[in-house]
Amino acid sequence: MNLDSAPSAVCPLTIREALQRITEIEIRIKKLSEETGTGRHRSLFSGTGSEFQEIREYHFGDDVRAIDWNCTARFCETYLRVFTEEHDTALYLVVDRSASGTFGREKSKDEVIFEIAVSLVFSAQAMGDSTGICLFTDDIEQFIPPGKGRRHTALLLNTLMTHRPKSNKTDIGKTIFRLFSKVPKRALIVLLSDFDSGDFGDEILLLSRRHEVRAIRVKDRSECEIPDAGYLLVCDPETGEELMVNASDPAFRRDFREVAAAQDAAVAGMFTGAGIRPLEVFTDEDYGASLKTYFRLGGRVAE
The answer to whether the CB of 135 falls within 8 A of the CB of 114 is no
Q: According to the model, what pLDDT value does residue 151 have?
A: 94
Contact indicator for 30, 119 with CB cutoff of 8 Å: no
Model pLDDT, residue 92: 96
Rounded Cα–Cα distance for residues 178 and 170 (Å): 14
Q: Report the pLDDT value the prediction gives residue 42, as an integer from 0 to 100.
A: 43
**Is 194 within 8 Å of 95 (Cβ atoms)?**
no
Looking at residue 242, its pLDDT comes to: 79
Q: Give the global pTM.
A: 0.78
Report the alpha-carbon distance of residue 231 to residue 166 in Å, rounded. 33
pLDDT of res. 38: 38
CA–chain centroid gap for 191, Å, is 3
**Numbered ranges of CATH 3.40.50.410 in the chain:** 15-41+89-296
The third-level CATH classification (topology) of the domain covering 15-41+89-296 is Rossmann fold (3.40.50)
CB under 8 Å to 1, separation ≥6 — which residues? 15
- Distance in angstroms between the alpha carbons of the first and the last residue of the chain: 46
For residue 100, the model assigns a pLDDT of: 87
Chain centroid offset of residue 25 CA: 18
Pairing of strands 79-86, 49-57: antiparallel
pLDDT score of 36 = 41
Chunk the chain into consecutive blocks of 10 residues (it has 303) and report each block's average pLDDT, rounded to whole numbers.
Answer: 49 69 74 46 50 72 77 82 66 93 85 91 87 96 95 93 90 95 92 93 94 94 81 76 81 86 93 93 88 77 53
